[in-house]
Amino acid sequence: MSKYRLVLLRHGEGAWNKENRFCSWVDQKLSEEGVKEARDCGRLLKEQGYKFDLVFTSLLSRSIHTAWLVLEAMGQEWVPVVKSWRLNERHYGALIGLNRAEMALQHGEQKVKQWRRSYNISPPLIDESHPYYTEIYNDRRYATCDVPKENLPRAESLKEVLDRLLPYWNSTVVPEIQKGKTILISGHGNSCRAILKHLEGVSDEDIASVTLPTGVPVQLELDENLKPVKPRQLLGDQAKIQAAIKKVEDQGKAKQATK
């Protein structure tokens, strides 16, 4: 029997999503389409009768802005929003800023798929010579973290995303769910996939095929032990959702390389 409801949301399309680049910890804003996706998501959740008590986001603007737009569309701007780096997107290391399709041409589609979707394979580490290193690690937001800046990741597998996310999930998110609050997590593709893996017990192999398109809310119904009582539900027009999933999966194909 369902006791709790939780909604996971991958932020609306970002500027680099549109350009098919690894964005990760670079603080890109939402694209025009991403703004529309977030507002449409808010309207859908309002139509479905959702009343959120608390929202969690990462420290990245596209996650935070999505949450604001969703709450605005729902008429629930007053709902508290709590931010943590532990909900940040997966750190793609040296791949940050690169075009996925061009990388597939250079390294092969299978290698890019491993970097993007596998559970325990990490991309190459970012170092100080990387064009976005200083922008990321000199950003004032990371002085607010619960670990020293020098201990923040330089690249992550999905397993490492889950490892840094779980302490926050257990200490901060779970107690709020257990109080009976209806929670929205406005996160990223990989932070949301990590939560799904944890809650649903998805295998290391099967998590590679779990795809979350931007701006599509994922409804989870949980029992008193926070175990799903039914399969996750992606809310909205199912034909459009399947098309969006295919678009995400195609991002790593070499034939999409830009000239």
pLDDT at 40 over 70: yes
Confidence of residue 34 (pLDDT cuts 50, 70, 90): very high
For the cut 80, the answer to whether the pLDDT of residue 257 exceeds it is: no
Token couple for 47: 């139509």
Q: Buried b vs exposed e over 202-240: b needs ≥16 C-beta within 10 Å?
A: beeeebbebbbbbbbbbbbbbeeebebeeebebbbeeee
> According to CATH, what is the number of the domain 4-251?
3.40.50.1240
Binding residues: 10-17, 62, 89-92, 116-117, 189-190
Selected catalytic residue, list 11, 65, 130, 188: 11
pLDDT at position 254: 56
Q: Which residue has the higher pLDDT, 253 or 196?
A: 196
Whether pLDDT at 155 is above 50: yes
What's the pLDDT tens digit per position in 78-133?
999 999 999 999 999 999 998 888 887 787 788 777 877 789 999 999 999 999 99
Segments making up each domain of the chain, as ranges:
4-251
Residue 44 pLDDT exceeds 90 = yes
Please give the average per-residue pLDDT across 179-206, as a whole number.
97
DSSP H helical ranges for the chain: 15-18, 32-47, 61-74, 100-107, 109-117, 133-137, 158-168, 174-178, 189-200, 238-249
Structural contact between residues 194 and 161, judged by C-beta atoms closer than 8 angstroms: yes
Higher pLDDT, 100 or 176: 176
pLDDT for 258 equals: 41
Q: CA 52, CA 235: separation in Å to the nearest integer?
A: 16
Asked whether the beta carbons of 33 and 12 are under 8 A apart, the reply is: yes
34/50 Cα distance (integer angstroms): 21
- Catalytic-residue membership of 11: yes
Q: Annotated binding site for substrate: which residue ranges?
A: 10-17, 62, 89-92, 116-117, 189-190
Torsion of CA 12, 15, 20, 24, to 10 degrees: -80
Q: What is the mean pLDDT of the segment spanning 243-256?
A: 71
What is the bridge-based pairing of β-strands 4-10 and 183-187? Answer: parallel
Active site residue 200: no
